[in-house]
Amino acid sequence: MNNIVNLRLRYFPFPGRAGAIRDTLTIGEVAFDDLHTTFEQYGELNATNALPFGALPVLDVETETGKVSAAQSNAILRYVGRLSGLYPVNDDLQALKVDEALGMGEDIYALLAPSLHEQGTERKMVMRKTLAEETLPEWAGYFERLLVANGSTGFVVGDSLTVADLKLYWLCKFLVSGDLDGVPTNLLDNFTTVTIWFKNIATVRKARLASAG
Ligand SMILES: N[C@@H](CCC(=O)N[C@@H](CS)C(=O)NCC(=O)O)C(=O)O
């Protein structure tokens, strides 16, 4: 393990793909600089090719031997999960299931992206209707099955909190926030196991953050 001198997370000033990363480091009591990047600053960074893949989040890891910058929220989550004890390091199968759930989260974000970028209101709302009535319920059904297959423990993998819970918690919170015009806040209500999981993670997350001080 490289000795970390400094960790810096760069993301916009809202949870998005960074909520789970911030939570994981906080719960693990791993010190980090939480740099909130404005859209203007992001534009400048992107214009100068200062971001690995032209997107945020980016984690800058300074060690005794140099500095590494990495993008891709799932890669960052696995790394900070290992630092914080929220990623299974001694169980390959549990790690596989955590990775599977992280990938599912990114698949869903990718499905949301076109309507988030769409400027035309009418076209945006057509996309949102398909998302609300077809695409997102289909994925919520997959998620419900995944949770049931894990034994309906209230966690995505096994019976304790992992980075997969935090990633999907923030994603589901966004989906039902009302911020996505056309996507109803009761989107997940018919998915009983998802709803129980969501409430459990909200409670566990709060308690773990509080006990981290
Ligand atoms: N697969 C990447 C996606 C990163 C991504 O799309 N980030 C968004 C914010 S959540 C971004 O930087 N958007 C800026 C833009 O495209 O203008 C990841 O998981 O980190």
Token reading at 62? 């300074």
Token reading at 146? 């995944």
**What is the model's pLDDT at position 213?**
72
**What is the model's pLDDT at position 21?**
99
- Mean pLDDT for the chain? 97
Q: Are 26 and 212 in contact (CB under 8 A)?
A: yes
> pTM to 2 decimals?
0.97
Mutation test residue for ligand 1: of 44, 45, 104, 109, the one with most atoms within 8 Å of CB:
109
Atom in ligand 1 nearest the alpha carbon of residue 16: 10
Residue 64 Cα to ligand 1 midpoint, Å, equals 29
Q: What are the residues facing 33 on neighbouring strands?
A: 8
**What is the model's pLDDT at position 152?**
98
Atom in ligand 1 nearest the alpha carbon of residue 42: 14
Task: State the average pLDDT over residues 8-19.
Answer: 98
Task: State the average pLDDT over residues 45-62.
Answer: 95
Q: Are 86 and 162 in contact (CB under 8 A)?
A: yes
Residue nearest to atom 16 of ligand 1 (CA): 55
Q: Are 153 and 162 in contact (CB under 8 A)?
A: no
Residue nearest to atom 6 of ligand 1 (CA): 55
Residue nearest to atom 15 of ligand 1 (CA): 55
Q: Are 162 and 111 in contact (CB under 8 A)?
A: no
Question: For 147-177, what is each residue's pLDDT tens digit?
Answer: 999 999 999 999 999 999 999 999 999 999 9
Residue nearest to atom 11 of ligand 1 (CA): 55
Residue nearest to atom 9 of ligand 1 (CA): 56
**Side chain identity at residue 129, one-letter code:** K
**What is the model's pLDDT at position 1?**
66
Q: In what order do the strands lie in the sheet with 33-36?
A: 33-36, 4-11, 58-63, 66-70
Mutation test residue for ligand 1: of 9, 17, 22, 37, the one with most atoms within 8 Å of CB:
17
Question: For 87-140, what is each residue's pLDDT tens digit?
Answer: 999 999 999 999 999 999 999 999 999 999 999 999 999 999 999 999 999 999
Secondary structure letter of residue 158 according to DSSP:
T
Q: In the structure, which protein residues have their CB atom closer than 6 angstroms to any atom of ligand 1?
A: 16-17, 55-57, 71-74, 106
Backbone angles phi, psi at 69, to 5 degrees: -115, 135
Answer whether the bond into residue 114 is a cis peptide, omega within 30°.
no
**What is the model's pLDDT at position 2?**
77
Task: State the average pLDDT over residues 57-78.
Answer: 97
Residue nearest to atom 14 of ligand 1 (CA): 55
Predicted confidence band of residue 83 (pLDDT cuts 50, 70, 90): very high
